Structure 1
């Protein structure tokens, strides 16, 4: 009888191990199936997010297996965070992760300062003067004033540095640059 009891308890332990392994396998399979999303659900999630972001131009939304990627360019960190928050709200539990690749601070268009001049008149001169003064820190022998968006530079500079000065002044996008008063040594 004790031999029979020993066999029974051994079989029960083996059965329990097998049942535990089967249970672990089934749970793993369920988690795997749950984590896999069909392209249709990704498409629905993308549509929800795009609808929530429709007032923000230039943002691209990509969704792959519940992972959302945001791309584009905007003008502020707060707007970038707002876009991410609206994405979370729109997607809810359908989102596994958000990769916010949005770049802050759009590059200034080539004609932006000129258009701003047209709108603001001479008020831009103070901003332009500040930018010119920052450039001139590297060129102590040069002085400049700004009139109606045009930089008027005077002073004496090594010939090899005149092009560098001009390029740096052009970079701040004035309406024009008058370098007639700059002489070379």
Structure 2
């Protein structure tokens, strides 16, 4: 191998190494810009902390549902795009008390309300196996057969989870 070939090989190796190093080392300014972009996208979700280091995003905080946690991660991906190397979603799901939950969910994200409400309805209906229910736009529609003495209990328990409304017309007393 000639000296020119050795020199070219060395320069090529150094160039590839330098490019890799430049790509791997993001400036603190680009991390701060990415953090600001993500924070702006999440401004309607209070209590979420965003940290960015070399393009790696870490999300911390507490939220009321798994679907909302996923929604926050999705918003983060959309806001950061290809500038994000990875997302570490450390958000903890703490289910709020039902009295507070509906209002908070309605404020933050409309679509997750029905899935969260459906989960809560299913927990109530575990004690009423002859009743089924569907949730649409925050309204519970219950159907089935139930002892007359238990209908009032069912209604009170459904009211406790704070839906927008309850339709019990399909519940027949026996």
Q: TM-score range by the shorter chain?
A: 0.5 to 0.7
Larger Rg: 1
Structure 1's 108 and 52: CA in aligned 2 closer, same or farther, altered over 3 A? Answer: closer
Deviations 1:83-123 (A, max 9, x none): 1111111111211111111112x1546xx77xx9xxxxxxx
Name 2:7's counterpart in structure 1: 18
Residue 21 of structure 1 and its aligned partner are, at CA, apart by 2.3
Residue 34 of structure 1 and its aligned partner are, at CA, apart by 2.4
Determine if the alignment matches structure 1 residue 78 to structure 2 residue 62: no
Alignment counterpart, residue 22 of structure 2, candidates 20, 33, 46 = 33
After the TM superposition, which residues 118-137 of structure 1 pair with which residues of structure 2 at under 5 Å, given as runs? Answer: none
Residue ranges of structure 2 left out of the alignment (5+ in a row): 103-122, 128-152, 154-174
Alignment counterpart, residue 54 of structure 2, candidates 56, 61, 65 = 65
Structure 1's 107 and 43: CA in aligned 2 closer, same or farther, altered over 3 A? Answer: same
* Distance in structure 2 (CA, Å) of the matches to 1:21 and 1:81: 47
RMSD (Å), alpha carbons: 3.3
Name 2:148's counterpart in structure 1: none
TM-score, structure 1 normalization = 0.50
Determine if the alignment matches structure 1 residue 97 to structure 2 residue 75: no
Query: Does the 8 A contact of 2:50 with 2:58 survive in 1?
Result: yes
SS of the residue 1:55 aligns to: coil
Residue 17 of structure 1 and its aligned partner are, at CA, apart by 3.0
Aligned length: 111
Residue 24 of structure 1 and its aligned partner are, at CA, apart by 1.2
SS of the residue 2:52 aligns to: strand
After the TM superposition, list the runs of 4 or more consecutive aligned residues in structure 1 that deviate by more than 2 angstroms.
Answer: none
TM-score, structure 2 normalization = 0.53
Residue ranges of structure 1 left out of the alignment (5+ in a row): 1-9, 117-125, 131-147, 149-185
Query: Does the 8 A contact of 2:56 with 2:87 survive in 1?
Result: yes
Query: Does the 8 A contact of 2:60 with 2:89 survive in 1?
Result: yes
